[in-house]
Amino acid sequence: MAIASINPATGETLRNFSALSAEQIEQKLQLAADTFHTYRHTSFVDRARLMLRTAEILETEKQNLGKLMTLEMGKPLKAAVGEAEKCAWVCRYYAEHAEHHLADQLVETNAKKSYVKFQPLGPVLAVMPWNFPFWQVFRFAGPALMAGNTGLLKHASNVPQCALAIEEIFVRAGFPHGAFQSLLIGSDAVEGILNDVRVVAATLTGSEPAGRSVASIAGKQIKKTVLELGGSDPFIVMPSADLKAAVTTAVKARTINNGQSCIAAKRFIVAAEIYDEFERRFVEEMKALRVGDPLDESVEIGPLATPQICDDLVEQVEKAVAAGARVLTGGRKLDGPGNFYEPTVLVDVDPAAPISCEEIFGPVAMLFRVTNIDEAIRLANATPFGLGSAAWTNDANEQRRFVEEIEAGAVFINGMVASDPRLPFGGVKTSGYGRELAEFGIREFVNIKTVWIG
Ligand code: NAP
């Protein structure tokens, strides 16, 4: 199984790695289990000290870590440095709040004393994607380690250097050997690990097929899973919205991370009264984006992470056009080395066409015109996904309806969907189940134990 680090901006192979042997995997699983038996008894104060040290390393070394992310998966350097900073934030958040989130909860019953106790579960497998190669891992590892679990990371095969760098950060922060390990393995090795009795639970952030596979294997073993899968988030703009701010935010929400974010806005649903003006400004701002070398600080859109993602995008857009969509700007892969795709705007897309229901992982936006709020909500919900959603309106009644009626794990009014350690994150429908972040995230991988003393 090839695990390679390839610069998506140039196609240059940076490093090749061999996948772990069965014997090496066995050693790492045993280490995770052995470490758990002692690590679970450490205090919150001790764990917090290590987590704060982790945050310090991330902050001090954010430039180098950011460069590593950019070289391996192509996100603009500024965003990559920001990602390292955000990882430090989640480490600090859980260092400060884990003890409170997992404190015993007294409950009045007919017992002399009854309460709820939260205890760690054991080694948890995290199967993670390349698109936020640090953030996705830290938002799992921060709470999981603070809760007293040990972590095993199977990172995406195109970001092995990030995987190794993350393990090294936890080791240097002082976490015990085996508290967090990166396994350089292909996805074919996941089933064996999930079937292993020492691995007690799994979390997967990635595509729907990967989620189905991991959940079904874990389901057969009756092991808890959290799934953070894809999305096709709606971004609705109503007549009362601040149009200028809505357009600028819409462009950012579609193109952040080179268009490869689960919570990127992918379908723009705009009220007829303001549609023409929105379309004109949106196309203008998409056209103005600078595409190029992600290490260049002035570049806004870097390459797609792999040639396959670029090919998939080319095919999705071609099929949409063949089915009647019109391209207002962009619509093609750029010539030359690297996986660059032009910022693209599609209109006249049939809401029932495959592209409307699939996830588009790249800088391609679809605009839809609607005549009223009922139509906007209907279209917003006409997707198998239910991750995030954004609605722009200054009408209180409309705001209330969007909050109540949109089928998604998050509704952002007059803003763009973003993750925040203080707020839960996750989806409904085929976007997955379970939650990360806040007190909800740290309670996913614990035994919520009822204690009753008569
Ligand atoms: P992916 O192909 O599903 O890969 C994600 C991870 O799953 C990788 O480590 C991959 O390993 C592994 N994997 C793939 N197929 C597997 C299988 N059958 N069994 C076990 N493991 C398997 O997704 P991606 O292309 O890396 O990431 C993009 C997807 O992630 C998008 O759908 C995006 O929306 C989603 N995402 C969701 C969230 C969220 O919070 N909801 C956040 C970020 C991304 P290999 O690399 O070795 O194949």
**148: region left, alpha or beta (phi > 0 left; psi from -120 to 50 alpha):** left
Higher pLDDT, 1 or 280: 280
Query: For all residues of the chain together, what is the average pLDDT?
Result: 97
Catalytic residue among 87, 91, 162, 262: 262
Percent of the chain predicted with pLDDT > 70: 100
- Whether the CB-CB separation of 90 and 51 falls below 8 Å is answered with no
- Joined tokens for residue 203: 């979390």
129 lines ligand 1 (CB under 6 A): yes
Question: Is 229 near ligand 1, meaning CB less than 6 Å away?
Answer: yes
Atom from ligand 1 closest to the CA of residue 132: 43
Residue 359 Cα, ligand 1 centroid: separation in angstroms?
13
Give the active site residue among 228, 300, 359, 398: 228
Residue 353 reports pLDDT greater than 90 = no
pLDDT score of 2 more than 80: no
Q: Is 112 exposed, middle or buried (0-12, 13-18, 19+ CB in 10 A)?
A: exposed
Identity of the residue numbered 295: L
| Ligand 1 neighbour 230 (Cβ under 6 A) | yes
Look at residue 354 and tell me whether its pLDDT is greater than 90.
Answer: no
- The pLDDT score that the predictor gives to residue 73 is 98
Per the DSSP assignment, residues forming a β-bridge with 203 are 126, 226
Model pLDDT, residue 356: 86
**Dihedral (Cα; 320, 324, 330, 335), 10-degree rounding:** 60
- Cβ partners under 8 Å of residue 168, min gap 6: none
Is pLDDT at 1 greater than 70 in this prediction? no
- pTM assigned to the model: 0.97
Contact 218, 197 (CB under 8 A): no
Q: Region 124-128: what's the mean pLDDT?
A: 98
Cβ pair 137, 125 in contact under 8 A = no
Which amino acid residue places its CA nearest to atom 15 of ligand 1? Answer: 210
The per-residue pLDDT for range 334-343, each reduced to its tens digit, is 998 999 999 9
Helices marked H in 299-339: 307-322
State residue 25's pLDDT score: 98
The CA-CA-CA angle for residues 151, 156, 157, to 5°, reads 120
* Residue 306 Cβ contacting ligand 1 at under 6 Å: no
Does the C-beta of 182 come closer than 6 Å to ligand 1? no
Q: Is the CB of 304 under 6 A from ligand 1?
A: no
Q: Which H or E run includes 2? A: strand 2-6
User: Which DSSP state fits 306?
Assistant: S
Ligand 1 centroid to Cα of residue 298, in Å, is 29
Consecutive H or E run containing 433: strand 432-433
* Torsion 373-229-433-212 (CA) sign: positive
Q: Is the pLDDT of residue 351 over 90?
A: no
pLDDT in tens, 166-182: 999 999 999 999 999 99
Quick one: which of 237, 250, 207, 159 has its CA closest to 360?
Answer: 207
434 lines ligand 1 (CB under 6 A): no
Q: Give the mean pLDDT of 236-261.
A: 98
Structure confidence by residue, pLDDT tens digits, 59-109: 999 999 999 999 999 999 999 999 999 999 999 999 999 999 999 999 999
Task: Answer whether 414 contacts ligand 1 (Cβ < 6 A).
Answer: no
Question: What's the mean pLDDT in 393-409?
Answer: 98
Question: How many other C-beta atoms lie within 10 A of the C-beta of residue 1?
Answer: 13
Give 267's Cβ-side CA count (13 Å radius).
Answer: 32
Q: First CA to last CA across the chain, in angstroms?
A: 57
Told to judge if 262 belongs to the known catalytic residues of this protein, a careful annotator would answer yes
* 203: pLDDT strictly greater than 80: yes
Nearest to 234 by CA among 382, 430, 347, 348: 382
Task: Tell me if 9 sits within 8 A of 338, measured CB to CB.
Answer: yes
Identify the residue whose tokens are 């006249």: 348
- CA dihedral 387→392→398→404, nearest 10 degrees, is 10
Helix axes 62-73, 44-60, angle to 10 degrees: 70
CB 410 within 8 A of CB 265: no
User: Of the candidates 317, 243, 311, 335, which has an alpha carbon nearest to the alpha carbon of residue 282?
Assistant: 243
- Contacts of 178 by beta carbon, 8 Å cutoff, 6+ apart: 28, 31, 32, 34, 35, 39, 150
Kindly give the distance from the C-alpha atom of residue 230 to the centroid of ligand 1, in angstroms, as a whole number: 9
Task: Give the burial class of 227: count Cβ atoms within 10 A of its Cβ; 0-12 exposed, 13-18 middle, 19 or more buried.
Answer: buried
Tokens of 127: 């199967």
| Sign of the torsion angle spanned by Cα atoms 140, 145, 147, 150 | positive
Answer yes or no: 162 catalytic.
Answer: no
From the CA of 454, how far away is ligand 1's center (Å)?
48
DSSP 79: H
Tell whether the model's pLDDT for residue 27 goes beyond 70. yes
4-40 CB burial, b ≥16 within 10 A, e <16 = ebbbbbbeeeeeebebbeeeebeebbebbbbbbeebe
> Cβ of 98: how many Cβ atoms within 10 Å?
23
For 148-172, what is the mean pLDDT? 98
For residue 443, the tally of other CB atoms under 10 A from its CB is 15
Give the tokens for residue 322: 């063949």
Q: Which ligand 1 atom sits nearest the alpha carbon of residue 155?
A: 9
pLDDT of residue 91: 99
